[in-house]
């Protein structure tokens, strides 16, 4: 069966393989203007701690090169720019031009000029040379990718030997008693926040659904192994609501 004939998850809905990327673009084009505000509201600001933990593990040094895939408004890219300094280089990429524009403007407004590049790019087919980056991050973007295995392979290809991939993503709660509370919040509160704050209830219903369809911690860990990453591991954050997966290129 060719990809054009396959169905893939778009939240709880099944759509054509070739349709998902455009549907995802539409979701994020719709919410781009309120994306940062909604992140703070949805997570009670805790997303900042998740990202700070991710940045604490990059291992980046001044002068090195990093790539933030599906980087949106640039939180991780900004942190890595501070780590690599003016002599280093960070590329912020996203498949959605509306999100990328906001990230670019933010970085420029903060004075990062010359050593940052912003590029519309598909995680499944990254337009960079082999062995280009010391670290690659993808924060809350992998679950929206149609072909996750292709994206993992693409990110491995552009990593330098010894370089690290960090995947920060919503995952599956493991703390006792957390799942029913999290489900109630996700399916009742999030869509209402989307409606009243972002004017888009459907996109935030998709958010909750896409999290449930994303591979759990152990499944994603095995996907990293299959793609060829070494020293793979993950850290559960906030009781498993979010997980940070890591792997190295050898």
d(CA 248, CA 250): 6
pLDDT at 29: 82
CA-nearest of 234, 218, 238 to 226 is 218
CATH of domain 3-174+206-248: 3.40.50.150
Q: What are the φ/ψ torsions at residue 161 (nearest 5 degrees)?
A: -55, 130
Domain ranges of the chain: 3-174+206-248
| pTM, entire model | 0.93
User: Which residue numbers in the chain have pLDDT < 70?
Assistant: 1-4
Residues in the chain: 250
Rg (CA), the chain: 17
Looking at the chain, list the stretches that DSSP marks H as alpha helix, in order from N- to C-terminal side. Answer: 20-31, 35-43, 47-56, 75-84, 97-109, 148-158, 178-184, 190-193, 201-213, 217-227
212 burial via Cβ count (<10 Å: 0-12, 13-18, 19+): middle
pLDDT at 113: 87
pLDDT at 174: 96
d(CA 234, CA 119): 28
Q: What is the pLDDT of residues 143-160, one digit of tens each?
A: 999 999 999 999 999 999
Mean per-residue pLDDT of the chain: 93
């Amino acid at each position: 069966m060719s990809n054009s004939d396959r169905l893939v998850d778009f939240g709880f809905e099944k759509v054509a393989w070739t349709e998902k990327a455009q549907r995802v673009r539409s979701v994020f084009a719709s919410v781009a203007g309120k994306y940062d505000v909604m992140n703070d509201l949805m997570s009670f600001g805790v997303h900042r701690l998740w990202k700070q933990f991710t940045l604490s593990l990059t291992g980046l040094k001044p002068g090195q090169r990093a790539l933030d895939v599906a980087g949106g408004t640039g939180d991780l890219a900004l942190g890595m720019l501070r780590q690599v300094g003016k002599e280093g280089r960070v590329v912020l990429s996203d498949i959605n031009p509306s999100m990328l524009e906001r990230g670019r403007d933010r970085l420029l407004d903060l004075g990062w000029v010359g050593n940052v590049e912003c590029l519309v790019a598909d995680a499944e087919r990254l337009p960079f040379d082999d062995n280009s980056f010391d670290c690659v991050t993808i924060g809350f973007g992998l679950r929206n990718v149609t072909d996750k295995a292709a994206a993992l392979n693409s990110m491995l290809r552009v990593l330098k030997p010894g370089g690290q991939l960090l995947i920060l993503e919503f995952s599956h709660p493991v703390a006792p008693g957390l799942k029913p509370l999290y489900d109630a919040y996700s399916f009742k509160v999030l869509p209402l926040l989307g409606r009243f704050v972002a004017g888009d209830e459907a996109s935030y219903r998709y958010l909750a659904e896409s999290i449930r369809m994303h591979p759990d911690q152990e499944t994603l860990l095995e996907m990293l192994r299959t793609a060829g990453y070494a020293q793979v591991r993950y850290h559960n954050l906030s009781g498993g609501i979010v997980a940070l997966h890591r792997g190295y290129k050898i």
